[in-house]
Amino acid sequence: MGTVSKRVRRGNNGAGKEVLEALEEKVQAALKVMTSEEAEGIIGEKPPILSTLLDGVTASVGMLWSTALASGARKKPKTLRMWGASQVVLATLVLYAFAAGMRMGREAGDSSLRSE
The structural domains of the chain, with segments of one domain joined by +, span 33-113
Where helices occur in 5-114 by DSSP H, the ranges are 6-10, 14-31, 36-43, 48-70, 77-108
Q: What pLDDT shows up at residue 1?
A: 46
Rounded to whole angstroms, the Cα distance separating 46 from 40 reads 8
> pTM score, two decimals?
0.76
11-21 residue pLDDT tens: 555 668 889 89
Coil, helix or strand at residue 116: coil
Q: How far apart are CA 55 and CA 95, in angstroms?
A: 12
